[in-house]
Amino acid sequence: MSQFICIKPTTSATELLSIKLPHPVTGLPARYFIQDGKLYEVQKLESQGERSWFINETVQKDGCLYIITKIDPLFVLLPILVNRRKKTSNSQGFFLLIEDLLDNNEYPSLIKLLNIVNIVEYCEWICDTKEYDTNKKVFRLNDEKVSYLVQEFDEFESLRSLIKRFDNDSLCSDIRQALRTRAVLELMSEYLPSYWIKKITGLYNFEKLAELEKANDITFVDNPSDFYARRSLEKEFDPEKQQSAAKKQKLTRSQAALAKVNTKGMKKLTTFFTKLPNDTSKK
């Protein structure tokens, strides 16, 4: 039986509900989980070279590490809202009930997103709404409201940690805000198609930040994937490279003195430990 090493959220009284949804960037099937009204994605960290895990008394040949982390439902909802509104050059598209938005024959698990806490409020943030019947609303995506995602992530603690080595009091407030905004867009590019990233980026002006970078020959924001990419363990486990590195190590004073000793004519230490001949004498 296959086993996997997985890091999951803090233990909860409820089980993780496994669902299959289209990935917001590729549109291909991807694994997600719902627990306690929150949506989680699965991140797979692949190792360099061959790796395995020891699990109790067994060896699991798949040495990958799986991490289940929280994801904002808006990233998953956005491409669904785009497809369901049926926008044309002559029409802004249809308003639909949230149940109809999530009704999909190819991905029946979409309807399970109704279990997400405040799922209606999520839709309201990036959609126009209308009252329908009693206590019901219909939704239609508003492209201009999608920029809300940038504002939502601007205050995330992880974002501040990402740019803290660049963000400081010596920068003016406009540059600091541009720095945070561009960092958010870099992070969002992992979850949104390039079309949306270009569209949202066009709403902001990064000219001052670009001028500062050019004048100082620096780049304030690196590719976020570089921060989380798994580092190669090749150098740690390559015997040839380890041996080569050992040869280049600086010798101690005693080792250097011994290296200068003339060993010509001296017997090797191993000659003093030759195998004794068998005793063939008779009793």
The 3 state secondary structure assigned to 100-165 is HHCCCCCCHHHHHHHHCCCHHHHHHHHEEEEECCCCCEEEEECHHHHHHHHHHHHCCHHHHHHHCC
Q: Kindly give, in sequence order, each residue whose CB lies less than 8 Å from that of residue 273, ignoring residues fewer than 6 positions away.
A: none
CA atoms of 6 and 2, how far apart (whole Å): 13
pLDDT digits (tens, 9 = 90+) for 49-91: 777 778 777 777 777 888 898 898 999 999 999 999 988 888 8
**Alpha carbon of 171 to those of 55, 166, 174, 177, 179: distances in Å?**
51, 9, 8, 10, 10
Helix, strand or coil for residue 190? Answer: coil
CATH code of the domain occupying 5-141: 2.20.25.530
Sign of CA pseudo-dihedral 227, 229, 234, 237? positive
Query: Could you identify the residue written with the tokens 């569209």?
Result: 199
Ranges of each domain in the chain:
5-141, 147-228
What's the whole-number average pLDDT of the chain? 75
**Alpha carbon of 226 to those of 62, 127, 213: distances in Å?**
24, 33, 19
pLDDT digits (tens, 9 = 90+) for 228-277: 343 333 333 333 444 444 445 555 555 565 555 556 666 555 555 555 55
Helix, strand or coil for residue 31? Answer: strand
Return the structure tokens found at 116.
């997400």
**Could you tell me the pTM of the whole model?**
0.66
CA atoms of 12 and 37, how far apart (whole Å): 12
Amino acid, single-letter form, for residue 275 = K
Q: In the prediction, which pLDDT does 154 show?
A: 64
pLDDT digits (tens, 9 = 90+) for 82-119: 999 988 888 889 999 999 999 999 999 999 999 999 99
Edge-to-edge strand list for the sheet holding 137-141: 96-97, 137-141, 127-131
Q: Is the pLDDT of residue 163 over 80?
A: no
Return the structure tokens found at 264.
């010509």
